[in-house]
């Protein structure tokens, strides 16, 4: 489930975009600007997207049940993917469509001063929401670059809001430039061109978000540093010959599934193997609370590689032990 700070970021973006959308629609109807209408649709889509993210956060916090034994954590990834589709289909689609119409049939924008005021106020609101999102994002970034941080992140809500707000601020600047140039160069067609450019910006943003959320939805493993540390914890236990395999998968931002295949010493009795497994589970969960479920398979290294090659392993040389 997402943290309270993550919700704070989404709520800030939701409130800001709702006010901005109302203001932009009023300005677009008053002035007839295509670029302003594109920006209004953009803000409206963003408002709906933030509502969907909040819904995803709420759903992902539901406890596991019989139908969904691993919980609902991945619902957040699903709704993030839906957000990307909406940005592309509604935001980019409407902006490009309106822009093409205005390019084909240009109309003079009236009351441009109103547009400038609205764009300026909107930029202030967007910048405030962007700053809140970036502060949360920067806290997770550390020494990594922005792209690497996004790729490593298992909580898509913060970088989704950050990307949306970044695209919004860039779109506002494009809208301002389009309206100003259309007025001063006496070329109303440039207002439509600005709308198309805004649509392209939204399409690129949506594509990036879809790519990142798709990876999370399909299933991403924990950070390599975490996996290496888990291997180190396991290797410190006496009676363990080798770690055949350590597989992880994020079922949510703070919900990791861990599967271990371990070759135990043949000298260990069944109670000793059980005690070792219990101790491993306790140490790993204490060190990494995000690991909610651990499944440990007691298997010889030969049997493990036979499994990987698709061969049948004799039941006497391989036994499964499940812990949770």
pLDDT tens, residue order, the chain (324 aa): 555 567 888 888 888 888 888 888 888 888 888 888 888 888 888 899 899 999 998 988 888 888 988 889 899 999 999 998 888 888 888 889 988 988 998 888 777 888 888 889 888 888 888 888 888 888 776 677 777 778 777 888 888 888 888 998 999 999 999 989 998 898 989 989 999 999 999 999 999 889 888 888 888 899 889 999 999 999 988 889 999 999 999 998 889 999 999 999 888 888 999 999 999 999 999 999 999 999 998 887 777 767 767 644 444 444 444 444
CA max distance for the chain? 89
CATH code linked to domain 4-218: 1.20.1510.10
Contact assessment for residue 265 and residue 257, using Cβ atoms and an 8 Å cutoff: no
Which of 34, 302, 50 is closest to 164 using CA atoms? 50
The CA distance from 247 to 258, in Å, is 6
Contact assessment for residue 131 and residue 169, using Cβ atoms and an 8 Å cutoff: no
Note whether 4-218 and 224-322 share their fold: no
The CA distance from 287 to 33, in Å, is 57
- Percentage helix, strand, coil, to 5, in the chain? 70, 10, 20
Which of 301, 295, 324 is closest to 313 using CA atoms? 301
The CA distance from 144 to 138, in Å, is 10
The residue ranges of every structural domain in the chain are 4-218, 224-322
What strands, in cross-sheet order, belong to the sheet with 318-322? Answer: 240-252, 255-264, 291-299, 318-322
CATH of 224-322 given 3.30.300.10, 3.30.70.1350, 3.40.630.10, 3.40.605.10:
3.30.70.1350
């Amino acid at each position: 489930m997402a943290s309270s700070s993550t919700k704070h970021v989404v709520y800030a973006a939701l409130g800001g975009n709702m006010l901005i959308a109302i203001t932009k629609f009023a300005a677009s109807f008053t002035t007839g600007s295509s670029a302003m209408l594109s920006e209004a649709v953009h803000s409206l889509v963003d408002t709906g997207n933030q509502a969907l993210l909040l819904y995803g956060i709420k759903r992902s916090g539901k406890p596991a049940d019989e139908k969904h034994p691993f919980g609902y954590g991945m619902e957040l990834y699903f709704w993030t993917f839906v957000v990307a589709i909406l940005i592309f289909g509604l935001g980019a689609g409407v902006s490009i469509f309106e822009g093409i119409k205005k390019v084909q049939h240009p109309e003079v924008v009236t009351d441009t001063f109103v547009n400038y005021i609205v764009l300026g106020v909107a930029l202030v609101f967007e910048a405030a929401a962007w700053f809140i999102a970036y502060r949360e994002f920067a806290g997770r970034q550390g020494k990594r670059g922005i792209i690497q941080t996004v790729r490593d992140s298992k909580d898509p809500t913060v970088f989704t809001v950050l990307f949306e707000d970044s695209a919004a601020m860039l779109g506002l600047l494009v809208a301002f430039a389009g309206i100003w140039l259309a007025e001063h160069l006496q070329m109303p067609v440039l207002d439509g061109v600005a709308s198309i450019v805004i649509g392209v910006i939204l399409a690129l943003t949506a594509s990036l978000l879809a790519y990142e959320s798709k990876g999370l939805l399909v299933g991403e493993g924990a950070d390599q540093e975490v996996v290496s540390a888990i291997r180190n914890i396991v290797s410190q236990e006496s009676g363990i010959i080798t770690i055949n395999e350590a597989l992880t998968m994020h079922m949510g931002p703070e919900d990791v599934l861990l599967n271990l295949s371990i070759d135990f010493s043949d000298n260990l009795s069944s109670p000793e193997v059980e005690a070792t497994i219990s101790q491993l589970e306790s140490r790993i969960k204490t060190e990494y609370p995000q690991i909610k479920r651990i499944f440990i398979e007691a298997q010889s290294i030969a049997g493990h590689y036979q499994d990987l090659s698709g061969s049948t392993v004799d039941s006497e040389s391989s036994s499964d032990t499940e812990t949770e």
